[in-house]
Structure 1
Amino acid sequence: MPLPQPDDLTSLILRTDFGDDGAWDAVRIALDAAGEYPHATYVSDVRFAAVDVQALLDEEAAAEEDDRIADLFLADATTMEDPDHPLLAVDLWDEPGRTFRVPAHLFPDVSANLSIANMDFADFADAADGSGTFRGFDGG
Structure 2
Amino acid sequence: MSSQTLPSSVNPLVIRTEFAQEATWKRICELIRAPVQLPGDAFYAHVDFLDDVAFRGLNKDQLVALAPRNYNHSVLFVVDGTTLRQADFPILVVDLNTQRGRSFRAIPSSIQAIENNLSIANMDFFEFADSAGKDGVFRGFPQR
SS for the counterpart of 2:34 is helix
Question: C-alpha distance in 2, partners of 1:119/1:22?
Answer: 33
Shift of 1:2: 2.0
Letter aligned with residue 65 of structure 2: D
The answer to whether residue 11 in structure 2 is matched with residue 4 in structure 1 is no
Identity %: 35
Q: Which runs of 4+ in 1 moved over 6 A?
A: none
Q: 1:116 maps to what in 2?
A: 120
> Normalized against structure 1, the TM-score is what?
0.86
State whether structure 2 residue 79 is matched by structure 1 residue 75. yes
RMSD value, Cα: 2.0
* Contiguous gaps of at least 5 residues in structure 1: none
The Cα of 1:78 is off from its aligned counterpart by 2.0
Q: Which segments of 5 or more consecutive residues in structure 2 lack a partner in the other structure? A: 37-42
After superposition, the C-alpha distances for 1:25-57 in whole angstroms (9 at most, x for unaligned) are: 111111112434352210011111111111122
**Matched residue, 1:133:** 137
Q: How many residues are paired up?
A: 135
Say if 1:38 and 1:121 are closer, same or farther in 2 by CA, change over 3 A. closer
Residue 57 (1) aligns with residue 64 (2): yes
TM-score of the pair, normalised by structure 2: 0.83
Letter of the 2:142 partner, please give it.
D
For 1:40, give the aligned amino acid. Answer: V
